[in-house]
Amino acid sequence: MEQPLAPYSVCNLAAVNLAEMADKETKTVDFEKLKRTVEVGVRMQDNVIDATPYFLEANRKQALGERRIGLGVMGLADLLIYCEKEYGSEEGNKIVDKVFEVIATTAYRTSIELAKEKGSFPFLLENGDNRNKFIESGYMKSLPEDIQKGVLEHGIRNSHLLTVAPTGSTGSMIGCATGLEPYFSFTYFRSGRLGKFMEVKADIVQEYLDRNPQADPNALPHWFVTAMSLSPEAHVDVQCIIQRWIDSSISKTVNAPKGYKVSQVEKVYERLHKGGAKGGTVYVDGSRNEQVLSLTAEENDLNECEVEDNNGKVFLVNTVSELSSTNVNIGDEVGDTCPICRKGTVIDAGGCNTCDNCNAQLKCGL
């Protein structure tokens, strides 16, 4: 995950299931329930720091010194569907902004209350009182004045409180959208350790059909939005709205359609940067010969791919060399032919298996 940490730092993660924060009758967010859940989550994670058996003394010292936690979410897409708002729309983004404002402000107020009860994280008071420095960051200045004053008066229990992790396994296990992502599709195929092309159907669709028996399963309402139906720009904008309220980092994929050009990907990263994101991932559908999620139970054919030259002209190139009639050993071991450029030979260079042509570091024993 895209999580910057200090040397030997650790971060215990948890996720609020936002699907459970919806009032399905009024089609609104139950913000009081959300606040209570965040309060419990922060206190639980703070206790985990003390309960964890640390194998390295350096890890123990860093973890207890900064008391970093990462409370995140799953089921954001479900929440928006229950509220009948489109993911990525103006109305949907207003809900997203409010939800994460409540999560952030509640988490910080809870951490200040914990500081009153148990004391601040030790690094805050190490080598002098650093509370003034703590509230001088751009993030802290964006929080309400009572939170800044609370830190100055009482300190704060945790150096960091918020992170949005992918929650791929846990979200799939309980049947909600993972992390802050929209559903990849409401019917798709997943490949993993348990097998390839296993069909997955989103529970929320059947729940909607059960509640609305007259509905057409092949023509779901417009608020059933999928990752591939969203523009990359819409993906970016949702991420940047959330980043305003997250003191650490976010795991988010910007899905782009097949044939997306290098220049278009560049613009996506520029939009992420201008929007205040700390990082980002752009995935162009079909850009790998195997991918975890796919719309059809078929292998990708990457024998040809589109490449853009300096003049903006797109042409097809063959990306796979014919090897069936040769005895060339392609791999990352010393003596193999480099799998990247397919011209160089893999050599041992300072402890790393490195191509002597393109200098790609393929395997490192350091």
In the chain, how many domains are there? 1
Q: Tens of pLDDT along 24-76?
A: 999 999 999 999 999 999 999 999 999 999 999 999 999 999 999 999 999 99
Closest to 71 measured CA to CA, from 252, 278, 250, 239 = 250
User: Taking a C-beta distance cutoff of 8 angstroms, is the pair 253, 215 a contact?
Assistant: no
Which one has a higher pLDDT value, 225 or 342?
225
> Long-range CB contacts (< 8 A, 24+ apart) of 262-271?
262/308, 263/308, 263/312, 264/232, 268/232, 268/233, 268/236, 271/233, 271/236, 271/237, 271/240
Inside any domain, residue 23: yes
Residue 45: CB atoms within 10 A of its CB come to 21
End-to-end CA distance of the chain: 22
Inside any domain, residue 185: no
Residue 55 CA: distances (Å) to CA of 10, 29, 65: 12, 42, 16
Inside any domain, residue 169: yes
Inside any domain, residue 338: no
Inside any domain, residue 148: yes
Q: What is the pLDDT of residue 324?
A: 39
Which one has a higher pLDDT value, 91 or 293?
91
User: Taking a C-beta distance cutoff of 8 angstroms, is the pair 314, 208 a contact?
Assistant: no
Q: Tens of pLDDT along 227-286?
A: 989 999 999 999 999 999 999 999 999 999 988 999 999 999 999 999 999 999 999 988
Cα distance between residue 128 and residue 26, in whole Å: 51
Inside any domain, residue 213: no
User: Taking a C-beta distance cutoff of 8 angstroms, is the pair 163, 245 a contact?
Assistant: no
Inside any domain, residue 293: no
Q: What is the CATH number of the domain that holds 277?
A: 3.20.70.20
Judged by phi (left if over 0) then psi (alpha if -120 to 50, else beta), residue 365 lies in alpha
Q: Tens of pLDDT along 12-27?
A: 999 999 999 999 999 9
The predicted model gives 101-117 an average pLDDT of: 98
User: Phi and psi of 131, rounded to 5°?
Assistant: -65, -35
The predicted model gives 133-138 an average pLDDT of: 94
Inside any domain, residue 304: no
Q: Tens of pLDDT along 76-104?
A: 999 999 999 999 999 999 999 999 999 99
Q: What is the pLDDT of residue 287?
A: 78
Q: What is the pLDDT of residue 100?
A: 98
Q: Tens of pLDDT along 299-353?
A: 444 444 444 444 544 433 333 333 334 456 777 788 988 877 778 899 988 778 8
What tokens were used for 104?
């952030």
Domain ranges, residue 87? 1-179+231-250+258-282
Cβ-proximal residues to 118 (8 Å cutoff; 6+ apart), any chain: 157
